Amino acid sequence: MRIDAITLFPDMFGVVRDAGVTGRAHAQGLWSLNTWNPRDFTHDAHRTVDDRPYGGGPGMVMMAEPLTQAVAEIRRARALQALPGAPVILLSPTGQQFTQRSACALAQSSGAIFVCGRYEGVDQRFIDNQVDEQWSLGDFVISGGELAALAMIDAAVRLLPGALNHGESSLQDSFQDALSGLLDSPHYTRPEIYNGERVPAVLMSGNHALISRWRREQSLRLTLRNRPDLIEQARAQGLLGPLDEKFLASC
């Protein structure tokens, strides 16, 4: 998977390229990353990438020309390596919300060209002519597209075959667990007693049927409390059995 990112802050991408699971996957050659600074596609002395909004209003708008030139350069670079075309994805607070489904789709593709906005937004003519999709991280405001792109890259890369150790299963994660559709249950490790608090006895019992049922009930309780929408979804998909319903009724 090849990721290209157009960004005024290329240093921010060092984190995902160099650290943790995504850093190891990068070192293994499972994915590659190239950053492109719009300032390098300007021609004026001040290397201007933004200007004031027509019609007035606060803040600045990213100009179409440097972004368009960057996309053209990325397409040339990809073609030179005989790589297939990649969608241009603008990170935007007005985009479609990114989900685990989006992460799976990205992980199964040959990559994407991420455009990270800064300031108030991007000239609409660039969006109309160059952008295939717009993705948002969720309903909150961050200062630019970079942190959103980093989160999305991380979410996709960890799904690449070979990215996780055997121990680090992505299958049991919340949302990824296609079988349950519930949030993950709590975890405990050594010591057995910490600050006077014991690990739940069931986890020490060696009874795996009992442990499974306990984890299921913890998942149900947590999901009901924090994400009742996911309980509804699981119910609609027929993922809750009579034992689950009985337990939920007792919560």
User: CB-based contacts of 108: which residues, under 8 Å, 6+ apart?
Assistant: none
Segment interacting with ligand 9D3 (CB under 6 A) among 11-19, 68-76, 139-147, 185-193 = 139-147
Among 9, 60, 144, 184, binds ligand 9D3 (CB under 6 A): 144
Q: Known catalytic residue: 53?
A: no
Q: Does 136 help bind ligand 9D3 (rule: CB under 6 A)?
A: yes
Number of residues that bind ligand 9D3 (CB under 6 A): 16
Q: Does 121 help bind ligand 9D3 (rule: CB under 6 A)?
A: yes
Q: How many CB atoms lie within 10 A of CB 176?
A: 16
β-strands 32-36, 2-6 pairing: parallel
- Minimal distance in Å, beta carbon 37 to ligand 9D3? 17
> Is the torsion defined by CA of 39, 40, 41, 43 positive or negative?
positive
Distance CA 117, CA 144 (A): 5
Q: Does 5 help bind ligand 9D3 (rule: CB under 6 A)?
A: no
Q: Known catalytic residue: 232?
A: no
Distance CA 218, CA 231 (A): 13
CB 166 within 8 A of CB 129: no
Q: Does 228 help bind ligand 9D3 (rule: CB under 6 A)?
A: no
Crossing angle for the helix pair 208-226 and 242-249, nearest 10 degrees?
50
Residue 92 one-letter amino acid:
S
Among 16, 107, 137, 183, binds ligand 9D3 (CB under 6 A): 137
Q: Does 120 help bind ligand 9D3 (rule: CB under 6 A)?
A: yes
Q: Known catalytic residue: 84?
A: no
Q: Which residues of 105-135 are buried (b: 16+ CB within 10 A; e: fewer)?
A: ebbeeebbbbbbbbbebbbeebbeebbeebb
- Minimal distance in Å, beta carbon 241 to ligand 9D3? 37
Show contacts with ligand 9D3 in window 67-106 (CB under 6 A). Answer: 91-93
Q: Known catalytic residue: 2?
A: no
Q: Does 38 help bind ligand 9D3 (rule: CB under 6 A)?
A: no
Footprint on this chain of ligand 9D3 (rule: CB under 6 A): 91-93, 117, 120-121, 136-138, 140-145, 148
Q: What positions carry a catalytic annotation?
A: 93, 120, 158, 173
